[in-house]
Amino acid sequence: MEQQAAATAVGDRTPAEEGMPCPDLPVYEGDDLGARPDGAGAVFRIWAPTAAGVTLRLFAAGSEGEPHGAEPTETREMTPGACGTWQVRCDGAGHGTYYDYLVRFPDGTVNRTADPWARAAGVNGRRSMVVDLARTDPDGWDEDRRPRVPAHALVIWETHVGDFSNDPHGGVPAEHRGTYLAFTHADTTVDGEGDFPTCVNYLRRLGITAVQLMPFYDYGSIDESLPLGSPERGFNWGYDPLNYNVPEGSYSTDPFHGETRIRECKRMIQALHAAGIKVIMDVVYNHMFSADNWFERTVPGYALRRRADGTLANGSACGNDVATEHPMMRRYIVDSVTYWAREYHVDGFRFDLMGLIDVDTMNAVRASLDALPDGASILMHGEPWSARQTALDPQARVILADKRGLPYLDPRIGAFCDSTRDAVRGHVFFQKVPGYLTGASADYADDIRLADDAWRGTLCESAGVGQVIQYVSAHDDLTLWDKLCATMRGMPTDADYEAEGPECADLMAASRLAAGIVFAAAGVPFLLGGEEFARTKRGVSDSFSSPATLNRLDWRRARRLRGLAEHYAALIRLRRESPAYFGGARMVVPRDDDVVAFRVGDDCVTINPGDAARTQSTVDLEMPGPYDEVAKIAPDEWERLYCSCGEGSASGGDGAGESGAAACAARVDGRDLMLPPHSFVVWRRRHG
């Protein structure tokens, strides 16, 4: 009712095409949908309120192609239960039994379907599996705990399970490359030579505190039956959900036995937790692999949004949109997210195209997570946009979690800030359009000043800085390095993409400044895995199904460009040691050029994107903001703490860019701070 009042207060719903109303079907409130084993068998329950009958089929194997897998070992008719459910109990159908349903409808249609509420599945997810989850726990699982990471120390690093370890030079054994188990190797190095860390070993040195994994629920675009490493398997990011509550089988060492992927997924999370790293799961509840899915086969016309003429809405640009506002779909999403948090100890969730999910559902997810032990520490954030306009019932007054809907979200649900991204690097959809660091510094200087204060005091302001995910690249669109190449080169060469030679010094300097802006900004810093060593996809902006060789992290490149990675590591340390960077007020120094300077806590941050050296008077740094949020400091009490252009940094060599480099021109000269060209500098008040 509160949400209805909010919608009425703003006088409008989210703009959308006219959609069909939600079918008037009973809502089941029980917590026993799916297959629940006991000591002697299992109870099966499915929600199918429009069905005339449901047949349960049991199998010895997870697919028709396996031995003894073609024909069911048993069939059972299910009986009607409460609120549109059907149920049956089967003795002997315990852990490892595979099953599906035949759902019959009054018009004579019969749909074969897997179980939407299943928690395990056979190869390629076409059959569900009864699973005793206790038997999937790895050793020590009961002692696994979420890492304690204070808000100011949160740094999110995004990767894909395959990308993380597919590089043959990454030091991971061949049989574990591209799998969950790659994360369990704690001491890998490039080619096993011991001089440069890779994978989890590398993440510990980098200092990030959360890994955001692209979808690892069971998705539909990869043939899991093909051998690990087979080129015929193909590659996909995984934004095509098939079985939401089942881990993806292609990341396991044995996709034919449903319990293996569960155990190995838990081992991955356990290993990251042991390294002090949170695990954020990328989830896609806005659309499904196909409009022909288990939900629609079970309850036709319910799960997906439809326009008034009955055609499918397509706000996702993937052919279908999930009707998250329908009560049983909302209930499913809440239960699914909560299940992953409880059973797999997942620490956070990133919602793909959150702008297609209604705010009531998002807030219900937040409330359900909060009710778990330590649930308030579980992170939630998403993309506050959609690909296109969806369709909604105009009478329902639905508010979606896009930018217009952010005021109605719980303040602990964050959103990616594309305003910062585009101000720093240039327009996301026009590859050669520049931003602050790529040729239009004068045009975007004011935006950078606002971005570093998390857009507070503007129409983009969020309820709290913790809602603002600050970033310049993610898996979508060009990597940061490729965007720099596109805007600063026009026609990039192989040497540009490979970051080879002194000719790339300007690209490297811009990359360092981009990192500085993000990590000095209020909010939560986020980076695409490999951004910190100039990751390239050679200009491919949407590599969702490109070869694994293009998508995988290049660990030899990381070693070669370690100077850039060490710059990121230094910025991460700065945030960890200086809590004010997360949410402290910024006192922005007024300037009429493209230099950005602001005070935060005891520090002053300066950014000079130009080719010429500049100065910043320390007298200007004495002035407190309108609410005295920073203390006055005498003009001679400043010293350089860190500079992005220390010796070796511009070329991307081994130098860490530390302020102690003799060649660094960033210094205090009387009452002026000297700002070298293309520099990000942190100055600190001198004590004692």
Annotated active-site positions, please?
352, 383
Cross-strand partners of 59:
98
- Type of residue found at 655: G
Q: How far apart are CA 598 and CA 513, in angstroms?
A: 15
Q: How far apart are CA 401 and CA 385, in angstroms?
A: 8
Q: Let me know how many helices (H) and strands (E) the chain has, helices first.
A: 16, 29
Q: How far apart are CA 260 and CA 136, in angstroms?
A: 7
Other beta carbons within 10 Å of 453: 23
Task: Establish how many alpha carbons lie within 13 A of residue 618's alpha carbon, considering only the half-sphere containing its beta carbon.
Answer: 22
Residue with tokens 């297609």: 356
- Type of residue found at 304: L
605 near 641, Cβ under 8 Å? no
Tokens (6 digits) for 352: 């793909």
600 near 520, Cβ under 8 Å? yes
- Type of residue found at 374: D
Other beta carbons within 10 Å of 459: 6
Residue with tokens 């050669």: 432
Other beta carbons within 10 Å of 191: 16
Cross-strand partners of 17:
391
Q: How far apart are CA 445 and CA 496, in angstroms?
A: 26
- Burial string for 83-107 (b: 16+ CB within 10 Å, else e) reads ebbbbbbbeebbbbbbbbbbbbeee
Tokens (6 digits) for 47: 């929600």
Closest residue by Cα to residue 117 from 276, 292, 335: 335
- How do 603-608 and 596-600 pair as beta strands? antiparallel
Name the CA dihedral angle for 658, 659, 660, 661, rounded to a multiple of 10 degrees: 70
Q: How far apart are CA 165 and CA 176, in angstroms?
A: 8
Q: How far apart are CA 92 and CA 74, in angstroms?
A: 11
Which H helix or E strand runs over 247? strand 241-247
Closest residue by Cα to residue 260 from 232, 224, 230, 233: 224
Q: How far apart are CA 198 and CA 576, in angstroms?
A: 22
- How do 614-617 and 587-588 pair as beta strands? unpaired
DSSP H stretches of helix in 196-276: 199-206, 258-274
81 near 44, Cβ under 8 Å? no
Other beta carbons within 10 Å of 141: 16
Tokens (6 digits) for 98: 């595979």
Mapped onto helix, strand or coil, the DSSP state of residue 629 is coil
193's CB contacts (< 8 A; 6+ apart) are none
Classify residue 30 by burial, with Cβ atoms within 10 Å: 0-12, 13-18, 19+.
Answer: exposed
Tokens (6 digits) for 92: 């002997």
